Amino acid sequence: EQITRAREFLSGQKPQPHPLHPQDKITWKPCEHLSVGMYGAQTVVVRDRVYCGGGDAVAADHDDQSRVFCYSPSGNTWNPLPATNMLFFGLGQIRGKIVAVGGLKKSDGEVTNEVYEFDEVSQSWKLSIL
């Protein structure tokens, strides 16, 4: 099927919508903007929320670069989590927990391979033992 769709595209034919993803049923809706401009950020979805962080914040201080922001679709709001102690980290999830991996230590700029997980109860980042 992918070859057929590629041939249609290359020949200038309008490709047929995928049967499981009909184009007339897909709509994009705007959501609230982040409070800071970011690039190179990573996103991860856990339960019903989107988390974004780890990139570089445009014209921002280190606190913005070390933050993860949480988007709640039900409220259409972004809220910052407490700052991590790292910059330019990778972002992921393991067993329903948000994890920040590697990057640079905010204290001295040294490269790190540490993994921190976000504790939703204490609202803090803790060194992970995963």
Q: Give the rounded percent of residues in the chain with a pLDDT score beyond 70.
A: 73
- pLDDT at residue 72 tops 90: yes
Report d(CA 104, CA 92) in Å as an integer: 16
Looking at residue 13, its pLDDT comes to 64
In this prediction, residue 57 has a pLDDT band, given cuts at 50, 70 and 90, of: low
Tell me: the pLDDT tens digits for 81-122? Answer: 998 989 889 999 998 899 999 998 988 989 999 999 999 899
Element spanning 63, H or E = helix 62-65
In this prediction, residue 56 has a pLDDT band, given cuts at 50, 70 and 90, of: confident
Measured CA distances, 128 to 59, 74, 102, 114 (Å): 31, 30, 12, 8
What is the C-alpha radius of gyration for the chain, rounded to an integer number of angstroms? 19
pTM of the model: 0.73
- pLDDT at residue 128 tops 90: no
Q: Are residues 104 and 112 in contact, defined by beta-carbon separation less than 8 angstroms?
A: yes
Mean pLDDT of the chain: 82
Measured CA distances, 22 to 11, 12, 29, 33 (Å): 21, 20, 17, 28
